[in-house]
Copies of this chain bind each other. A is one copy, B any other.
């Protein structure tokens, strides 16, 4: 058994995301820092033109992941996507959006059949993807569908700065959040997060802190009823299922260091309630982990940053943290199986 546990993980698949964004340079930089950052072998998926545009030449084209681990010491293995046009950093185009989706699709497939140890995805632009007819709100929903998991049963878990936080509703206009919030959705996300805490993070008895929707968690109904009518029943039902969940808790006092020591993940009701504390605490190294999937999928918690793309200004910290966390989670799953 110990021989199996010590076997190396299959190399990780890392997509470049939008080739005109900062994905390619953060992946190249993560590879350059592989020794000092202690990163496991990974290979990139994207167009050669994306690396050429930033002057990165130390990649080695591969046809499938098999030779990646051996190549990794001296070059970044790259599964190439065809690109007819050169890439212009900071200037996205439809061809780049298509490459991003193709890389994502290939990466999911390789992770699902186990030849990639986990999937790490580079940043894309939702506007660019929508412009070419991509039918999903983002990469997360696409990955969930390709894995055959309903969107409600996966969760976005942000990890950084000593905090894990998961938004129950995600890319919704704020005005639609109260209507989208149901006890069932809160429970589904809560289950996915609790399971990930034990399966992916190795926490034996995970504790969830559930944020209220309204200021001061509604102050007993004076500032809104959702905390009493929707969130509290979901917490009670989760507890009845054996999930250790507490709340609803006032969101503003939930994220300082002392509060964070009392739980393993915060379940938040909407995007900014989860993302504000994570990015305030860990802007350059926040990781977005999709939990509830049969594969491990992580992403740096930042966007394409077109404004600085190609100028060697992008911080690779979040990409490095995503690769490292994906490998840790994948190892835990493998060792437990």
Contacts and interface: CB of A to CB of B under 8 A. Distances in A.
A336 B134 CA distance: 59
Nearest to A281: B280
A126 B219 contact: yes
Interface string A55-76: 0000000000000000000000
Residue with the highest number of chain B CB atoms closer than 10 Å, among A172, A225, A253: A253
Contacts of A256: 279-281, 283-284
Query: How many A residues are at the interface, by size bracket?
Result: 35 or more
A173 interface: yes
Contacts of A172: 215, 223
Contacts of A32: none
B223 A252 contact: no
Contacts of A259: 283
15 contacts: A130-B222, A171-B215, A173-B218, A174-B213, A251-B272, A252-B271, A255-B279, A256-B280, A256-B284, A259-B283, A272-B273, A276-B276, A276-B280, A277-B277, A280-B280
A258 B283 contact: yes
A223 B178 contact: no
Given A255-B276, A276-B276, 18 more contacts: A126-B222, A171-B215, A172-B223, A173-B225, A174-B177, A174-B178, A174-B214, A174-B215, A174-B224, A175-B226, A251-B275, A251-B276, A253-B283, A254-B276, A256-B280, A256-B283, A276-B277, A280-B281
A204 to B, nearest CB: 27
Contacts of A174: 174, 177-178, 213-215, 224, 226
- In the complex, the count of this chain's copies comes to 2
A277 B281 CA distance: 9
Given A255-B279, A279-B256, A280-B256, A215 B175 contact: no
A258 B317 CA distance: 15
Interface in A170-203: 170-178
A5 interface: no
A312 interface: no
A38 interface: no
Contacts of A219: 126-127
The residue in A226, A251, A256 that gathers the most chain B C-beta atoms within 10 A of its C-beta is A256
Interface in A256-286: 256-259, 270-273, 275-281, 283-284
A254 to B, nearest CB: 8
A178 to B, nearest CB: 4
B226 A255 contact: no
A135 interface: no
A252 B226 contact: no
A82 interface: no
A133 interface: no
A214 B279 CA distance: 16
